[in-house]
Amino acid sequence: MSGISVSRPGGACALAFSIGISMALASCAGPVRTSTLTPLDPAVVAMYAPVENEPFRIPAADIRKVEPRYYRQRVPTPIHIGAAPGTIVVDPSNRFLYLVEDGGTSMRYGIGVGRQGFSWTGDATIKSKQEWPKWFPPAEMIARDPAAAPYANGMEGGLDNPLGARALYLYQGDKDTLYRLHGTPDASSIGRAVSSGCIRLLNQDIIDLYNRVPLGTKVIVLGGPETLPPQDTFQSVAGGPGANQPI
């Protein structure tokens, strides 16, 4: 674990306390958003394979539930991003997160966006990075859901923790924005506006991002509409030679 400790690292990123049950049901009955007849790119399968060298074994991501445009990939930096290399730009409306690189490219990650993902925009700085972070249910959740009460002092990191394998904490000066970039095992939520939470990436992707960015990284969160419907249909992604390659 590295970075500055935070007293309430769960912040505004509150997920339904029944997330474990919901995800289990989704894995059995959730929509498969890619064709089961379409062969998967071996590079993509390898990118989202199980992660063994962690305190908790991370299962392979069910990438058939993720539209291919949301797979981690290097792309030409879009004009509307307009940020310096080394900057993270979150585009909630399009469900993408960009890590801007030198040479006109960016590493792009698919994200899931919750209510809090649309409630805050602006510039911030990563002042804390946590591996397998502790999560604190907010007081209103504890009040309405007795099952959350045992976690008033925090839920330890693990596969059932709503913050996933990693979390990046955004600050403006010394003020915690309560805005998090964090992991999730729920592949069906990537590319969608989910019911609650901040910005979620697949656990494999948040680990990749975590390893690429240091403390002090600038983060720009673009504005977006307050509510957006789930995106369940495919859209083509334009790009020149070498674009949209999984990394």
Supply the CATH number for residue 155's domain: 2.40.440.10
Length reported for the chain: 247
Cβ proximity of 100 and 83 under 8 Å: yes
In this structure, is residue 199 part of a structural domain? yes
pLDDT < 50 stretches in the chain: 1-7, 16-32, 35, 226-247
Burial of 205 (0-12, 13-18, 19+ CB in 10 A): buried
- Contacts for 122 with CB less than 8 Å, ≥ 6 apart: 172, 220, 221
What is the extent of the structural domain holding 162?
A: 2-27+44-226
Q: Can you tell me which residue has the tokens 């948040």?
A: 206
pLDDT at 137: 83
- Asked whether residue 243 is assigned to any structural domain, the reply reads no
Which residues, in sequence order, are CB contacts of 137 under 8 Å at separation 6+? 10, 14, 17, 145, 148, 151, 152, 155
Is there a domain that residue 240 lies in?
Answer: no
HSE, side-chain direction, 13 A CA sphere, residue 207: 17
Query: What pLDDT sits at residue 74?
Result: 98
The reported pLDDT for the residue numbered 244 is 37
Distance CA 97, CA 112 (A): 10
198 is catalytic: yes
Task: Reply yes or no on whether 182 is catalytic.
Answer: yes
SS3 content of the chain, % helix, strand, coil (to 5): 25, 25, 50
Catalytic residue among 13, 28, 80, 182: 182
Amino acid at 101: E
In Å, what is the CA distance from 113 to each residue of 67, 86, 181?
Answer: 15, 22, 10
Does residue 33 form part of some domain?
A: no
pLDDT at 8: 54
Number of domains in the chain: 1
Q: List the catalytic residue out of 13, 28, 80, 198.
A: 198
Whether residue 124 is contained in a domain is answered as yes
The phi and psi torsions of 48 (rounded to 5 degrees) equal: -110, 25
Of the chain, the percentage scoring pLDDT greater than 90 comes to 60
